[in-house]
Amino acid sequence: GAGVSQSPRYKVAKRGQDVALRCDPISGHVSLFWYQQALGQGPEFLTYFQNEAQLDKSGLPSDRFFAERPEGSVSTLKIQRTQQEDSAVYLCASSPGTSGRITEQFFGPGTRLTVL
């Protein structure tokens, strides 16, 4: 079956541009996570959705970062006025469980963002 897909796979932006990164989770998965992975580092949590509700956005590094999941399926991570320090791989993961139940998170291949 289809896994988590992300688009675009690669994005180059000039400093100051806005970007939008898309995540298509596994069908029926309730939970959706965004992580940021800098070069040579492990993924770091950004935000978490349960269906369409954003339950945790404590990892978003600044108010330039915004995420939504309006119909409880596809999610978009938007970064406004990109900066060089935003260059990283942005990973999306989905999980069938809710916050009260630990279940496996399935990761997409990531979007590699490079800000020039």
Name the minimum Å distance from CB 64 to other proteins. Answer: 21
Name the minimum Å distance from CB 16 to other proteins. Answer: 27
With beta carbons less than 8 A apart as the criterion, state whether 112 and 7 touch. no
Name the minimum Å distance from CB 102 to other proteins. Answer: 5
Q: How far apart are CA 103 and CA 7, in angstroms?
A: 25
2 near other proteins, judged by CB under 8 A: no
Q: Are strands 44-50 and 53-56 parallel, antiparallel or unpaired?
A: antiparallel
Q: Pick from 62, 104, 114, 116: which binds other proteins (CB under 8 A)? A: 104
Q: Pick from 75, 82, 94, 95: which binds other proteins (CB under 8 A)? A: 95
Kindly give, in sequence order, each residue whose CB lies less than 8 Å from that of residue 43, ignoring residues fewer than 6 positions away: 35, 36, 37, 91
Prior bond of 8 cis (ω within 30°)? yes
Residues that bind other proteins (CB under 8 A): 4, 31, 33, 35, 40-45, 48, 50, 55-56, 59, 91, 93, 95, 97, 99-100, 102-110, 112
